Amino acid sequence: MKRNKKAGFTLVELMVVAIIVAILAAVAIPLMSGNKERAVATEGQAGCSTIQTAQRVYKAEHGTYHPSATSPSDLPGFNAGDLDGTYFNDASYVITPGAASYSVAAATIATNGVTGTLTMTVASDGSISWSGLGQ
For 58-110, how does the pLDDT look when each residue is reduced to its tens digit (9 = 90+)? 999 998 899 899 999 999 888 888 999 989 999 999 999 987 899 999 999 87
DSSP class per residue in 85-124: -SS--GGGEEEE--SS-EEEEEEPPGGGS---EEEEEE-T
With contact defined as beta carbons under 8 Å apart, do 87 and 17 qualify?
no
Is the per-residue pLDDT at 2 higher than 70?
no
Which of 3.30.559, 3.30.700, 1.10.3470, 3.30.70 would CATH assign to domain 11-132? Answer: 3.30.700
Please give the model's pTM, rounded to 2 decimal places.
0.74
With contact defined as beta carbons under 8 Å apart, do 114 and 87 qualify?
yes
Nearest residue to 71 via CA among 86, 90, 87? 90
Nearest residue to 107 via CA among 83, 81, 78? 83
Domain range annotation of the chain = 11-132
